[in-house]
A and B are shown apart, each in its own frame.
Chain A
Amino acid sequence: MTIALDTAQARPKRGFWTMARRDAATGYLFIAPQLIGIIIFVLIPLGLVFWYSLHEWNVLAGSFRFTGAANYEKLLSDPAIGEVMSVTAVFSAGLAALNMSMALGLALLLNQKLRFMTVFRTLFFSPVVVSLVAWTIVWSFLLQSNGGINGLLQMIGVEGPNWLRNPTTAMISVIVVQALKNVGLNMILFLAALQGVPRELFEAARVDGVPRFKQFYRITLPMISPTILLASIVTIVGALQVFAQIMILTQGGPGFSTTVLVYYLYQQAFQFYLFGYGSTLSIVLLVIVGALTFIQWQLRRKFVFYEN
């Protein structure tokens, strides 16, 4: 008892600012600007959008009336929503498949040790830095029935279709225009991943007589699978948020054939003045993006290879 008392008296009194607390405070200070930004520009707007989705908001009249789940009920009975969702799914799947396969193909080609490779890499990456609107406007001219693409086709004796006026070719056109715009970004990611694959694995496979195609799907694909996961998440989320291309190229037409969810949301909120319903659609978009990202993240256990 005496000994314990002596020990307690001997221990120096600890202040509030212990080393651990000081480190934690420093850490919080470092992340504070980003955290404040996320709260102000992400979380609060997100909360507001959800709040608006529970209201009928007539911008012109300045009225703002709480309607509870009415907008969500309207969503379920909206006759156009099924068509919009299927168009969105086709667009996103088509864009992701085309973008990723093109990017991987280009990365494999540009991973060779040949002359002028830097020039080619720059060339394929350059659309990424071009203004999206300018890029799409140029393509809208190229895709006209008397535009540049059909002019080129005519030179080889082929009569091109009216790209943006037919439901099938309009969808293909917007997918291709968007894929070409961003293919460089995924290409650079894949290129970096390819250059991180150990050469000795290929050398060992070559010694064992493994054909090149087998090398690709037994070595290359598993080794770059973390990058494929990242690229697929980013590409699909980006595809679900496409707007400007649809606005400039097709305005959702012909018919409803290219009316994707974000464009439909824009129409409801900003053209038809239904801000409450528009907010509901944006919550739906958020849920879809979140669910798809979660599924992809869960699938990593099965398909993604990590060395550790």
Chain B
Amino acid sequence: MRRTMLKTTLAALAVTTGLVAPAFSQELRMAIWSANEAHLALFNEIGAEFEASHPGVTVTYDSLAFEGYVTTLTTQIAGGNPPDLAWLFDTTAPDFMAAGALYPLTDTFAKTEGYDIADFPAATLTAWSRDGVQYLYPFSTSPFGVFVNNDMIKAAGAKTPAELIAAGEWTWDNAIATAATVAATGKQGLVVRDFDFKIWENLAEIYAGWGAHPWSEDTKSCAFNSKEMVDAMTFIHDAIFVKKALPGPGVAADFFAGDAAMTTTQISRASLLPKDDKAFDWDLVPLPSGPVGDYAWVGRAGIGVMANAKNPELAAEFLAFFSSKANVAKLARFFPPARQSLLTADVLSAANPLLTKEQIEAVVIRGVATGQSTQQVQNFAQLQQTVRAGLDGLWQPQADISGVLNSLCDRLNPLLAAN
């Protein structure tokens, strides 16, 4: 009797002091690299819907700086405070999957009513799976295009990309010629956004047009000294140091601030286009064709659940909700979906009022359908740093291009062979 009374008293105390509520509450935290208010508002809206159907669950988003994102994530994992879910680059995902750091999602997706995994083209799932198990949801499959400042190009007396496309002359040679014409007026020509002579992977938007890749298909040997890459790098070097069509090393130029005629980047950057009195006549066109003809380049990001999250099953359930057809249609405003059923001009133009149907057809739909993307390889961070250091020798006016690329391969080959 006395024991029952004691239990009852303790239970009452626990309820009144709020001890019970936290025991049933569950916080889900997703690490992201965007701090864009519009992105966060949409994420919070989806989180709130999940909270409404899951009492006691709260969903928060942890906006980490893009620079050093993976480092911060790794530090959180090392410190025993990993997020429940995280965005990952396609370059980072292989290391996370190989290390067993991610929770398998195949079963959760399969048992979620109406999820329809078959809606994702097989190619979009491959990068995010290992040994037939799905570890990440293909969150963003975002093609690169060229944003154009028509006002600046017309003022320089050059042909706009739209005119070149109409004439069937939208090639890298002509794009660089247009950029050089603008650069001669004192503005900058073409900016490879976020490259800044450090993030060399972004040059893939150009060198893919030459059919060049950083390493062999089996990722066991370096391909920086292949003919395709040497030709592509020679073209880029010439565009920077001879034609001055690309801003040189150490020159800051932002297309969206009106500093340059063109920039290669993804459609989500349309939100950066200036408004009001700073607005200009802009266009979005596909990447110019290279020696291999027309091509597209796609950037990918996935979302995974951390294997050592506090409640990975619940986190996976949230991810299935986050990537449902209804939510992906909303997210399509910023992040081009991998879901085939949503990859239509109607859905995408409703989500992207800034873009015309023609722009969406030409850049997004064609890009997702035909786009190449980064060759995935393990130990990417070390390879990336080695390439960055090796390519520094290239960004000099008198650089010996073949010599630099051969020397880079000498450093890179042992690392690739050890993978």
Interface set of A (CB-CB < 8 Å, partner B): 58-62, 141, 143-147, 162-166, 251-256, 259, 267, 270-273, 275
Q: Which residue of A lies closest to B76 (CB)?
A: A59
Q: Closest 6 interchain pairs by CB?
A: A60-B99, A254-B392, A145-B250, A61-B99, A60-B101, A165-B249
Q: Are A275 and B250 in contact (CB under 8 A)?
A: no
Stretch at the interface among B260-268, B290-298, B381-389: B381-389
Q: Kindly provide the distance from the CB of B236 to the nearest chain A CB, expressed in whole angstroms.
A: 16
B70-98 interface code vs A (CB 8 A; 1 in, 0 out) = 11001101100000000000000001100
Q: Kindly provide the distance from the CB of B387 to the nearest chain A CB, expressed in whole angstroms.
A: 11
- The verdict on B221 contacting chain A, using a C-beta distance below 8 Å, is no
Q: Kindly provide the distance from the CB of A234 to the nearest chain B CB, expressed in whole angstroms.
A: 29
Q: Are A253 and B392 in contact (CB under 8 A)?
A: yes
B188-228 interface code vs A (CB 8 A; 1 in, 0 out) = 00000000011000000000000000000000000000000
- How many A-B pairs with Cβ below 8 Å? 77
Interface set of B (CB-CB < 8 Å, partner A): 70-71, 74-75, 77-78, 95-96, 99-101, 197-198, 248-252, 308, 379, 381-382, 385, 388-390, 392-393, 395-396
Q: Which residue of B lies closest to A167 (CB)?
A: B392
Q: Which residue of A lies closest to B306 (CB)?
A: A60
Q: Are A270 and B197 in contact (CB under 8 A)?
A: no
Q: A-side binding surface: helix, strand, loop or mixed?
A: loop
Chain A residue numbers with a CB within 8 Å of B385 are 252, 267, 271-272
Chain A residue numbers with a CB within 8 Å of B395 are 165, 254
- Out of B70, B249, B389, which one reaches A255, CB within 8 Å? B389
- Out of A62, A143, A144, A255, which one reaches B308, CB within 8 Å? A62
Chain B residue numbers with a CB within 8 Å of A275 are 78
Q: Kindly provide the distance from the CB of A75 to the nearest chain B CB, expressed in whole angstroms.
A: 16
Q: Indicate whether A144 sits within 8 Å of B250 (C-beta atoms), given known contacts A253-B392, A255-B392, A270-B74.
A: yes
- Out of B74, B197, B250, B389, which one reaches A256, CB within 8 Å? B389
Q: Which residue of A lies closest to B102 (CB)?
A: A60
Q: Are A61 and B100 in contact (CB under 8 A)?
A: yes
Chain B residue numbers with a CB within 8 Å of A259 are 389
Q: Kindly provide the distance from the CB of B230 to the nearest chain A CB, expressed in whole angstroms.
A: 20
Q: Are A60 and B74 in contact (CB under 8 A)?
A: yes
Q: Are A145 and B249 in contact (CB under 8 A)?
A: yes
Chain B residue numbers with a CB within 8 Å of A267 are 385
Bound CA span A165–B198, Å: 11
Q: Are B393 and A255 in contact (CB under 8 A)?
A: yes
Chain A residue numbers with a CB within 8 Å of B197 are 165
Chain A residue numbers with a CB within 8 Å of B392 are 165, 253-255
Q: Are A272 and B382 in contact (CB under 8 A)?
A: yes
Q: Kindly provide the distance from the CB of A215 to the nearest chain B CB, expressed in whole angstroms.
A: 46
Q: Which residue of B lies closest to A275 (CB)?
A: B78
- Out of A60, A165, A270, A271, which one reaches B250, CB within 8 Å? A165
Q: Which residue of B lies closest to A163 (CB)?
A: B250
Q: Are A59 and B77 in contact (CB under 8 A)?
A: yes
Q: Which residue of B lies closest to A164 (CB)?
A: B250
Chain B residue numbers with a CB within 8 Å of A254 are 389, 392-393, 395
Bound CA span A136–B99, Å: 36
Q: Indicate whether A251 sits within 8 Å of B308 (C-beta atoms), given known contacts A60-B96, A61-B99.
A: no
Bound CA span A275–B99, Å: 15
Q: Are A146 and B381 in contact (CB under 8 A)?
A: no
Chain A residue numbers with a CB within 8 Å of B251 are 144-146
Q: Are B393 and A273 in contact (CB under 8 A)?
A: no
Interface centre among B74, B77, B396, by most chain A C-beta atoms within 10 angstroms, is: B74
Bound CA span A252–B251, Å: 19
Chain A residue numbers with a CB within 8 Å of B308 are 62
Chain A residue numbers with a CB within 8 Å of B70 are 271
Q: Kindly provide the distance from the CB of B224 to the nearest chain A CB, expressed in whole angstroms.
A: 15
Q: Are A60 and B249 in contact (CB under 8 A)?
A: no
Q: Which residue of A lies closest to B397 (CB)?
A: A162
Chain B residue numbers with a CB within 8 Å of A60 are 74, 77, 95-96, 99-101
Chain A residue numbers with a CB within 8 Å of B381 are 271-273
Q: Which residue of A lies closest to B307 (CB)?
A: A62
Bound CA span A145–B78, Å: 39
Q: Kindly provide the distance from the CB of B242 to the nearest chain A CB, expressed in whole angstroms.
A: 16
Q: Which residue of A lies closest to B411 (CB)?
A: A79
Bound CA span A251–B392, Å: 11
Q: Are B252 and A273 in contact (CB under 8 A)?
A: no
Q: Kindly provide the distance from the CB of B153 to the nearest chain A CB, expressed in whole angstroms.
A: 22
Q: Kindly provide the distance from the CB of A84 to the nearest chain B CB, expressed in whole angstroms.
A: 12
Chain A residue numbers with a CB within 8 Å of B250 are 143-147, 162-165
Bound CA span A273–B71, Å: 9
User: Could you give 7 example pairs across A and B, Cβ below 8 Å?
Assistant: A60-B77, A61-B99, A162-B250, A166-B396, A251-B388, A255-B390, A270-B75
